[in-house]
């Protein structure tokens, strides 16, 4: 299950009229499209700009059995004071969460982001879901350089996240046409 943080009356972090909720939704949906093209079943907590509480998100995940719950976010601190990508899991003892978190973190860093590492946190969507859960912070929305990377390398970021997930499931590496959703096997 893919979760796109914030939405509706909760825009998340906002910087220069850019809303975290919108970035989360468009990136998550691009990843979902690539995963579906690879034959992976994906459900989403939201597909539009709607308000969802944390409890609604964790309850949606509990309706079915999922391998993973992945929540998409953009970070914020003080304008232009922090940069990079980090991935959160509930416990380093969960090798399933830690393995995928490390793979995704390493993939996103290859796009040029500062590596802030895989960390633990007590976030509701990590603690109150049944699946192995991850929360991605894909750059700082209040950092101009991170936003430029997010925008200029958007297709690559989506592809790298999707490929890390796909490889985690043991599916052969695929090349994708993001706009058309077609897949072509790498030889």
Residues identified as active-site: 137
Which DSSP state fits 79? T
Up-side HSE of residue 123: CA atoms within 13 Å toward CB? 24
Strands 182-185, 174-177: parallel, antiparallel or unpaired by DSSP?
antiparallel
Strands 18-19, 14-15: parallel, antiparallel or unpaired by DSSP?
antiparallel
Cα distance between residue 173 and residue 60, in whole Å? 30
- Helix-strand-coil split of the chain, %, nearest 5: 35, 25, 40
Three-state DSSP at 151 gives: helix
Cα distance between residue 11 and residue 22, in whole Å? 8
């Amino acid at each position: 299950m893919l979760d796109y943080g914030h939405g509706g009356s909760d825009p998340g972090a906002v910087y220069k009229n850019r809303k975290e909720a919108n970035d989360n939704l468009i990136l998550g949906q691009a990843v979902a499209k690539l995963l579906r093209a690879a034959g992976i079943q994906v459900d989403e907590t939201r597909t539009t700009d709607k308000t969802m509480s944390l409890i609604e998100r964790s309850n949606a995940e509990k309706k079915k059995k999922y391998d993973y719950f992945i929540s998409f976010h953009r970070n914020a601190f003080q304008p232009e004071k922090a940069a990079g990508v980090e991935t959160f899991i509930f416990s380093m003892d969960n090798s399933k969460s830690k393995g995928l978190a490390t793979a995704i973190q390493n993939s996103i860093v290859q796009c040029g982001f500062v590596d802030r590492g895989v960390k633990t946190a007590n976030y509701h969507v990590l603690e109150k879901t049944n699946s192995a859960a991850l929360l991605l912070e894909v750059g700082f929305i209040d950092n101009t350089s991170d936003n430029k990377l997010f925008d200029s390398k958007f297709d690559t970021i989506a592809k790298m996240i999707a490929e890390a997930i796909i490889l985690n499931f043991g599916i052969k590496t695929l090349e994708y046409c993001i706009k058309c959703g077609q897949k072509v096997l790498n030889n």
